[in-house]
Every structure is written in C-alpha cells, then in structure tokens.
C-alpha cells in the first residue's frame, strides 16, 4: 500500500486535494500544478470556488493569470467533499484562530476533518498544515480517521507539516521554503516525505507530529518574544530621547549574535498574535506556566494603546483633542505590501480612536474598501487618495503599515502632524512624532 502511494508521487500521477483555498492553500496549489500534478481544491465558500473556476484571484499577490493557467490544465475548485476519494493526498489548510477567551478555536480543523473523513480511502496521505498546539494531529485527526476503519500507518498515512508562507515576501516562495514533516508512524513519515519532496526543494523530517507542531509554534513565538522585547525597548528609548530605529540599525551591523527585529503598533497576521496562546493553553495541561511568552504577549497587546497615547499627546501639543479631530490611518493591512487584514493592529488603532470620538479615515493602496471583519467595528470607508490637498485636511496622520507604494516625501510635506509607528519619517522633523 505504502509503496504504491509513494510511487504515484514519484511519477507525478497522483491527484492532490487541498482543503482551504486561502493564503496557504492557493500558493501550494500553484506549486503542484506547476510541476504537473492534478489538484482538486476544496473550499466551503462557494463564491471563492466560482471565482477560481473562472480563473480569477481574490488574493492580491497571486495573479489571476496564474489561476487561469492552472485552471486551464490541472486545477479544479469544488465544494463537493464527496470527491475527496479521487485524491491520493489530502492537505488541510484551514484557519486556527482564537476564541473570545483567547483559547484555541479548533472548530475549523474538527469540522473539516469530519467533512473529509467519510470519503477517505486506503492509500491516501492526510496532511494537516494549520498552525496548532502539540497533539492536535493525534487527538483530533487520528481518532476521526481511524473511526472509519482506516489504520494510520497501514491503510492511510497521517502527517503534520506546518505551513511557512510569508505573503508578499519576494525573497521566498513555496518551493524554496524548507518543509518540516512529522509522521504518526515511520511509514506515515515516509509517505509524507514522498508527497512533499517533488514540490519543495528541502524537506526536513522530524520524529513525530508533535515535534512538527511544536516546531511551528517555536518559530513564531521566537518572533513574538523578540518583537515584544524591541517594543519595550522602543518605549525606554523614547523616554530617553533616543531613536530606536537608529539603535537597531547600528546593532544589526554586528555580524554574529544579533538578529534585528522592529517595533510597531502591535502584532498582526495569522500566526504571531495567535500562536503563543496555543502553546500557553496546552502547557497548562502539563502544569506549566509560560510566563516569559505571556509577558511578551502583554507587551505586544499594549502597543495599540501606546500609539493612541502618542496621538492624544501630539494633538494636545497642537491644541487639539482626539474628539472631533480628523485622523487618517496610513496602511490597514497587517504588514507592508500585502492586502491581508488578519489580526491587523491598524484596525485596533482605528477602533480605539473612533471610540474616543475621532473622525477616522484610512489610506491603503492594497485595500481599496474596508472589509467586514467579524468581531470588529464595521467601518463604511474607502481608501482616501493621498493628494497634497487631502493630506492637509487632516489634523493627524498615523502611519501604521509602511507600504512601499506610499509617497513618503509627499506625506511629510503636506501632513500637519505625523505619528510614525514604523520609523519611515525623519526623526528630526518637527511635525513627526515617533510611536
């Protein structure tokens, strides 16, 4: 069974099923079709399925031409989970958010597993790529799969291989980012390596699914903790009248023992603001209190309020209150040069300023219309044009996401007051306040 499955991946006759066609699933689909695999894409959002089957893209950095090319040859999108049986591998790329208590919300993983389980068959590889706590694959996927009479390691091959996509990063693509893989059994691992090896330049096997799950959390907690450190350093440096960005750039000249991280208005994206809570939640099961990780989370979570304080003080110095001030937020995506709004700290800044009575607007070349974000204020706004006249009409401009498409000299010349959370404006400009 295992050898037959492996051979299908080696000769590229296998069909790959990708469940969840978002920022992770779509790039993976394109990689597999690029090298000649047939791919079935599954999503519960029928509008997404329809758009993909028309050759359209709904993610800015993925050109529609690539979707159309894949659709013309090897790719089909569907919401019919009965077709799971047509695939030789089933890769799950579904969200793993937090609930309102900041605890793991496993509903997408569980519901997706239950949706595909009735249609699984012997000889398939099932791979979970969603970021999650150690033990998820064994605790949530394994019993639901084996309840169908399929023994993992004999009939079906269960692996965990965390996604490592970095949307908008031109230096890396799906093919060039090493792929960590853990299998439930040695046979599972062998089949999982065979699945990913044709598509990824370097595959990194580890001893278990738990080890692979914890690897992903360590990667992102490492970033969260270091960003928390530099955010705290930013506050100290500001009190001392020192530009933290100058300090980071100087420290980064050390060729060993230092990696530069940069402060901002808070953490955003689908990983860094969320992943630490997955580990702290699971660690409590083992009687471990992850104080260091939680402290970094507290520092990072406080950054939107720190920015609001800076805005209020700066407006006060200009004889203005936050209430009734016209404030323009520059950049509402969670990171530069993308249209991804997930967990964006810019939205928190907007919401808090609006509650204080500010007249809020935004400009973002990647997000022309403010989307509906569940759990957040519904802003009926469109991106403002950045003209000299328009900029001059705002009492304050807050740079929260430093897209390269912004005309920074124009902004610096015509904005009355700039709150800079990203270090893009000259520190000695009298109307620029670092935050």
Measured distance CA(132)–CA(177) in Å, rounded:
19
Q: Tokens 């790529």 appear where?
A: 129
Burial category of 353 from C-beta neighbours within 10 Å (exposed 0-12, middle 13-18, buried 19 and up) = buried
Tokens (6 digits) for 293: 């990780």
Of 179, 174, 172, the residue nearest 194 (C-alpha): 179
From the candidates 93, 188, 271, 396, which is the catalytic residue?
A: 271
Q: Annotate 102-128 with b (16+ C-beta within 10 A) or e (fewer).
A: eebbbebbeebbeebbebbeebbbbbb
Measured distance CA(423)–CA(431) in Å, rounded:
14
Pairing outcome for strands 75-78 and 89-92: unpaired
Tokens (6 digits) for 406: 């912004």
Q: What are phi and psi of 21, to 5 degrees?
A: -110, 65
Measured distance CA(95)–CA(273) in Å, rounded:
14
Provide the 8-state DSSP code for 95: -
Neighbours of 301 (CB within 10 A): 16
Whether 48 and 67 have beta carbons less than 8 Å apart is answered as: no
Neighbours of 320 (CB within 10 A): 17
Tokens (6 digits) for 391: 């900029």
In the residue annotation, 271 being an active-site residue is answered as yes
| Secondary structure, 3-state, 186-252 | HHHHHHHHHHHCCCCCCEEEECCHHHHHHHHHHHHHHHHHHHHHHHHHHHHHHHCCCCHHHHHHHHC
Q: Tell me which residues are annotated as active site.
A: 271
């Amino acid at each position: 069974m295992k050898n037959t499955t492996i051979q299908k991946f080696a000769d590229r006759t296998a069909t790959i099923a990708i469940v969840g066609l978002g920022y992770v699933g779509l790039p993976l689909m394109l990689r597999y079709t690029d090298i000649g695999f047939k791919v079935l894409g599954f999503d519960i959002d029928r509008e997404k399925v329809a758009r993909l089957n028309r050759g359209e893209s709904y993610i800015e950095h993925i050109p529609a031409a690539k979707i159309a090319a894949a659709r013309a040859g090897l790719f089909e999108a569907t919401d019919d989970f009965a077709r799971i049986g047509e695939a030789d591998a089933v890769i799950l790329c579904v969200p793993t958010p937090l609930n309102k208590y900041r605890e793991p919300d496993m509903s997408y993983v569980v519901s997706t597993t239950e949706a595909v389980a009735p249609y699984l068959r012997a000889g398939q590889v099932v791979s979970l790529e969603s970021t999650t706590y150690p033990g998820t694959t064994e605790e949530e996927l394994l019993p639901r799969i084996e309840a169908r009479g399929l023994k993992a390691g004999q009939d079906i091959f269960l692996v965990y291989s965390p996604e490592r996509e970095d949307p908008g990063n031109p230096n890396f693509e799906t093919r060039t980012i090493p792929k960590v893989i853990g299998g439930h059994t040695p046979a599972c691992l062998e089949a999982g390596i065979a699945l990913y090896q044709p598509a990824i330049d370097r595959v990194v096997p580890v001893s278990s699914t738990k080890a692979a799950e914890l690897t992903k959390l360590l990667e992102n907690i490492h970033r969260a903790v270091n960003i928390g450190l530099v955010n705290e350093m930013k506050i100290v440096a500001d009190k001392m009248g020192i530009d933290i960005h100058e300090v980071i750039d100087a420290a980064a000249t050390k060729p060993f023992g230092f990696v530069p991280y940069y402060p901002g208005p808070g953490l955003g994206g689908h990983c860094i603001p969320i992943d630490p809570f997955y580990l702290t939640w699971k660690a409590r099961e083992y009687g471990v209190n992850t104080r260091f990780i939680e402290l970094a989370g507290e520092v990072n979570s406080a950054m939107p309020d720190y920015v609001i304080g800076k805005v209020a003080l700066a407006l006060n110095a200009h004889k203005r209150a936050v209430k009734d001030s016209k404030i323009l937020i520059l950049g509402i995506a969670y990171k530069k040069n993308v249209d991804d709004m997930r967990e964006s700290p810019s939205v928190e800044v907007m919401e808090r300023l609006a509650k204080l009575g500010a007249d809020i607007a935004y400009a973002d070349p990647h997000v022309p219309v403010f989307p509906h974000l569940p759990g957040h204020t519904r802003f009926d706004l469109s991106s403002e044009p950045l003209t000299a006249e328009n900029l001059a009409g705002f009492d304050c401009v807050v740079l929260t996401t430093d897209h390269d498409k912004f005309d920074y000299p124009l902004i610096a010349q015509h904005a009355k007051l700039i709150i800079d959370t990203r270090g893009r404006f000259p520190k000695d400009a009298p109307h620029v306040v670092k935050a």
